[in-house]
Structure 1
Amino acid sequence: MEQQVIELPGSDGIQPVVVPELAEGATIQARFEAFHRHNPWVLQQLEALAAHVLDQGSRRIGISMLFELLRYRYGVATHGGEFRRLNNDFRSRYARLICERHPEWRSRFELRALRSE
C-alpha cells in the first residue's frame, strides 16, 4: 500500500529563532513581546497551520497541536535546529494573539485564564 504524504503549509517562511536578551526577572508577557518582535514569522506560521487545520474540517483547534506541528517543521527546515527555542511559556499568548487577529476563529480555540502576566 502506498503512503500518502500530506504537505503542510508554511515551511517557506521558517527562519532561525532569534532569542532576545532580556533583563533578569522579566515577566512572561515581556519575554513573549520581545520574542514576538524578533520572530514575527512564528505567528505567521501558526496562523497558516491553523487555517489549514480548520480548512480540513476541524471544529476545534489547540495551540499545543499547532506548536508541535511548527516544532516539527522548524526541525525539518533547519535540519535539526534547536526546536526547544519555541518556548511553551508563549503558547497561551500566541493563542490569544491569533484569536485577536482572527475573531472568526475564537470559538475554535479554548482559552483559559492566564496564571501570570
Structure 2
Amino acid sequence: MTSMQLELPMAPLRHPDRAGEPLSIQDRFEAFHQLNPWILGKLEAMTADCVDRGLRRVGIGMLFEVLRYEYGRATCGDAWKLNNDYRSRYARLLLERHPEWSSAFETRGLRSA
C-alpha cells in the first residue's frame, strides 16, 4: 500500500434515504456522492498512483474492487456496499476533474440518465 493511500481516511459509508419516488441512477449517485465525498478522493489517489507508475489504462472496476478490499481491511464488522451502478459515474467524475487522464479510462455512452 502506498503512502498516498494511507493518508486518505475511510469514513463510515452512508447511504441516502430511499423513501419516496424511485430515483434515476444519476440521482442516486449524486445523493450517495454527497454523503460520501471521501470515496472520490480515494479513487483519485488510486488513479494518480496508477498513472504515476506508468499504467496506460486504468479500470474503474479494478479501483472499486481494491477500494472494497481496503475498506474491508480497515473496518471491522461494517457492512459496506459500493454499488456497481456508480462505477461509470465515478469514472466520468474523475475525467471531469482530471482531463489529463482521458487516455487512461475508456468510457461508453450511458444507457440511462
Question: What TM-score, normalized to structure 1?
Answer: 0.88
The share of aligned pairs that are identical, in percent, is 55
1:100 corresponds in structure 2 to 96
Gaps of 5+ in 2: none
Match of 2:38 among 31, 37, 41: 41
**1:87-113 deviation line (CA, Å, top 9, x unaligned):** 100000000000000000011100011
Question: What TM-score, normalized to structure 2?
Answer: 0.91
1:26 corresponds in structure 2 to 23
Match of 2:105 among 105, 109, 114: 109
Q: Shift of the alpha carbon at 1:80?
A: 4.7
Match of 1:62 among 59, 62, 74: 59
2:10 corresponds in structure 1 to 14
Q: Shift of the alpha carbon at 1:14?
A: 0.6
Amino acid at match of 2:94: I
Q: Do the aligned partners of residues 24 and 10 (structure 1) sit closer, same or farther apart at CA in structure 2, a change above 3 Å counting?
A: farther
The runs of at least 4 aligned residues of structure 1 exceeding 6 Å deviation read none
Amino acid at match of 1:77: A
Distance 1:111 1:39 in 2: 23
Q: Shift of the alpha carbon at 1:10?
A: 2.4
Q: Do the aligned partners of residues 73 and 30 (structure 1) sit closer, same or farther apart at CA in structure 2, a change above 3 Å counting?
A: same
- C-alpha RMSD of matched pairs (Å): 1.3
Aligned residue pair count: 110
